[in-house]
Amino acid sequence: MARSATLPAYGTGPPAAPRGEPRADSGGESRRGSAESNRQIRSKVESRMLGLDSNRLSWWDHWRALAAYQLPRRYKWLITANEATRGSAINNKIVDSTSMLAARTLTSGLLSGLTNPATPWFKFEIDGFDDPGSDVVLWLAECQRRMSTVFQESNFYNSMAVMYFDLVVFGTAAVLIYDDFDDVIRCFNPCLGEYYVDVDNKHRVVVFYRKFVMTIAQVVNEFGEENCSDGVRGLYREGGTSLTREIIIAHALEPNDDGLYGVPKRFKFRECYWEWGSSQDLLLRKKGYLEFPGFVARWDVVGNDPYGRSPGMDALGDDKQLQRETVRKASAIDKMVNPPLKADVQLKNQPASLLPGGITYVNGYGRDRPGLEPIFTVMPPIAELKQDIAEIQDRIRRTFFNNLFTDISNLDTVRSASEIRARVEEKLVMLPVIKRLDNEALAPSIERTWAIMQRAGLLPPPPQSAPAGGFIAIRYISPFAMAMRATETTAIERSMAFGGNLVAVDQTVLDNYDLDRTVHLYTAALGADMRMLRTDEERDQIRGQRAQQAQQQQVMQGAAGLVSGAKVLIETDVGGGQNALQAMLGGGAVGPGGVPGTEAPA
């Protein structure tokens, strides 16, 4: 669950622009440009947008059905300025909200399992630098902390939540990440139906076009009055209600491979904005980027399809059946409660009471002409309908992988931690999108944010021991990543348990294990912060102090034993005016010169 990304010359800021070329936060930004150049750009991008629109047509219609039944608020059927019905009801086909709730559960599970705002979900590593106390490890930890702060302070997690919802329903979701003076980054979620995408020869999304609406005030604030058309400038100066009038803006983002925009070739991507339907002599902005300013995530892809397929597509058939059966069940219950009636023709235009306890008087009732009575006795199979609806609802929830997140909480009995962990690992195999999200969403968002922070000087300078232009690995430590890596900790535990069982046969078997290295490997596999472990020097110093203290204590215990023994010998009388110690030293008192057995003269 790690991805290697080259982040060269970290902490040094953006590459210097050659003399005469513009330098901006992400790329070379220019103003209007020449009319001839703008016409060439407009001709190419508008022609390509027509081709992208043709390729998207079948997806476009499929998305409309998904939106109608599952997520109507995140889809634009037509891009229309000054749309007066924007706040009208758009969920008329949703009678049973099971699919919407199931998609919401999967969205919440992905957000908390992959990019939980409350816990760290990524960290940085450099191969060969795993000492918890090294300058490189501490520097990477500080970089991770600062980036996590940027994510928290910006709208990153709000955008990720919207992205996951789009992804599970439509199979394709886009997020644009731009630099922001106040929050470092600002994320935008283009609505499905607004944008078109295409892939390169490696099936990576590198082309992003869209049409969307902005008010006159927004256009001027974003692009500057001097870059707008005469019509927009006139409405802006007019003020009042003219500021809220909307126009359609077009946006093209693609690889900078032919130098058409006049953007320096060192920028890998370029973009331009223009007023849709305006004169081809005008552009609102053209700009270059060193990296793709955002990402497009897809749930599952077939061949070279630019758009993805989703659980929402798999559940669409069940969803349509569910809505129909729910309506029919309600109709059956309504017929039971309020059945259709038949009546004597004489009662036409006559008052009749259908309220409980009400009485309707009829001439001749009970003889040859009846009054009001049901046309037929309604006995619909309500129980069978409810059972079939419950089965459909369960299929929809499983299609949206809700069982992955709710089965454990729905267990009737208490299970062991090992069993629960095994269940989670088993179900994560059923969610193959995790690795695709690592490559198409998580890593690009981290790399883009790193680049923005680097150019803004918000990353700490690297230590002298850090390799210049080295590979920095992005390691994911989210709950999903840890669950998928749990096999590493399980293998360590089983190996240690096996070795422990052999100790009863041969105690030297533990000599095969490097326990210090095992602790490091186990902690890393758990995704815990390696700074919680002491460095090798600190560990060896503590062990040396402990051994020295033990040796001193042993010496002191030995000396205390000698003193205690000598005291006992002195106090032991063996007769003849001698104690035991004198007897041991030669059978008599110690004489002059230290010669035993002689007595000193009186």
Q: What is the pLDDT of residue 369?
A: 57
Give the span between the Cα atoms of 97 and 381, in whole angstroms.
23
Contact 197, 207 (CB under 8 A): yes
pLDDT at 4 > cutoff 90: no
**Higher-pLDDT residue of 349, 53:** 53
Q: Indicate the range of 15-29, 48-62, 79-93, 377-391 predicted with least confidence.
A: 15-29
- Residue 349 backbone phi and psi in degrees, to 5: 65, 15
pLDDT at 44 > cutoff 80: yes
pLDDT digits (tens, 9 = 90+) for 460-492: 998 888 887 778 889 888 888 877 776 677 777
pLDDT at 13 > cutoff 60: no
Whole-number mean pLDDT of the chain? Answer: 82
Q: Which residues contact 410 (CB under 8 A, 6 or more apart)?
A: none
Segment 189-207 mean pLDDT? 95
Q: What is the pLDDT of residue 511?
A: 80
**Higher-pLDDT residue of 100, 371:** 100
Write down the H helix ranges in 73-229.
98-114, 135-153, 156-170, 216-223
In which band, very low, low, confident or very high, does the pLDDT at 599 lie, cut at 50, 70 and 90? very low
pLDDT digits (tens, 9 = 90+) for 246-264: 999 999 999 998 877 788 8
Give the span between the Cα atoms of 554 and 560, in whole angstroms.
10
344-351 long-range contacts (CB < 8 A, ≥24 apart) are 344/369, 344/370, 344/371, 347/371, 347/372
Segment 172-201 mean pLDDT? 95
Q: What is the pLDDT of residue 126?
A: 87
In which band, very low, low, confident or very high, does the pLDDT at 155 lie, cut at 50, 70 and 90? very high
**Closest to 262 measured CA to CA, from 44, 47, 21:** 21
3-state secondary structure of 124: strand
pLDDT at 365 > cutoff 70: no
pLDDT digits (tens, 9 = 90+) for 502-526: 878 888 887 887 887 787 777 766 6
In which band, very low, low, confident or very high, does the pLDDT at 78 lie, cut at 50, 70 and 90? confident
pLDDT digits (tens, 9 = 90+) for 277-303: 988 889 999 999 999 999 999 999 999
Q: What is the pLDDT of residue 594?
A: 43
pLDDT digits (tens, 9 = 90+) for 533-548: 777 777 778 878 888 8
Segment 99-118 mean pLDDT? 93
Task: Give the HSE-up count for residue 595: Cα atoms under 13 Å, Cβ half-sphere.
Answer: 5
- Please report, rounded to a whole number, the percentage of residues in the chain having pLDDT higher than 90: 44
**Higher-pLDDT residue of 523, 42:** 42
pLDDT digits (tens, 9 = 90+) for 319-358: 999 999 999 888 888 878 777 777 777 777 777 777 766 6
pLDDT at 407 > cutoff 70: no
pLDDT at 107 > cutoff 70: yes
Sheet containing strand 205-215, strands side by side: 195-199, 205-215, 246-255, 269-275, 285-289
- Residue 20 backbone phi and psi in degrees, to 5: 95, -10
Q: Indicate the range of 146-150, 262-266, 335-339, 455-459 predicted with least confidence.
A: 335-339
